[in-house]
Homo-oligomer: A and B are copies of this chain.
Amino acid sequence: MKIHTKHLAIKTNNRIEFVNITEKVRGVVKESGVKEGIVLINPMHITASVFINDNEGGLLQDFRKWLEGLAPMDEKIWKHNLTGEDNAYAHLWRTIMGRETTVAITDGKLDFGTWEAIFYGEFDGQRSKRILVKVIGE
């Protein structure tokens, strides 16, 4: 059994940003030497998401506008912000987008469909964050 762990560092320029991390994950899988197994990818932060969707700029704009509609950024409407925070919306957005993803590894590669791409969704950025990549298999 082979197990390989990597903590990727990330810092976005914008407060809200979608970053395609597919190639970084591929690199970790390659260095793990795992030929058959799975890889778990998750942010180590609760105002961010790792998810799989289409690498298309218009769709990423749609996601942002849609999330703003489902959970407004307006600070005054959320109790969490009474603690001095201003990022309640980010906790809710990450719930919609999901915390983590698990991807199958077959023949040493991500067992992916044509259009699957792995994204880090940052909802309260401009600070140093970490993404955990855990590879398990043989």
Do A95 and B96 have beta carbons less than 8 Å apart? yes
Rounded to whole angstroms, the CA-CA distance of A83 and B58 in the bound complex is: 8
Q: How many residues on A have C-beta within 8 angstroms of the other chain's C-beta atoms?
A: 59
Residue interface bits A27-50, CB-to-B below 8 A is 1, else 0: 000000000111010111110000
Do A100 and B97 have beta carbons less than 8 Å apart? no
Which of B37, B54, B79, B96 makes the CB contact (< 8 A) with A91? B54
Q: Quick one: given A5-B111, A46-B116, A113-B46, are A136 and B38 in contact (CB under 8 Å)?
A: yes
Q: Which of A39-80 contact B (CB under 8 A)?
A: 40, 42-46, 51-54, 56-59, 61-63, 66, 70-71, 78-80
Contacts of A102 in B (CB 8 A): 40, 100, 102
Residue on B nearest A99 in the bound complex, by CB: B52
Contacts of A78 in B (CB 8 A): 58-59, 62
Contacts of A92 in B (CB 8 A): 62-63, 66
Residue interface bits A110-136, CB-to-B below 8 A is 1, else 0: 011111100000000000001010101
Do B43 and A104 have beta carbons less than 8 Å apart? no
Do A38 and B36 have beta carbons less than 8 Å apart? no
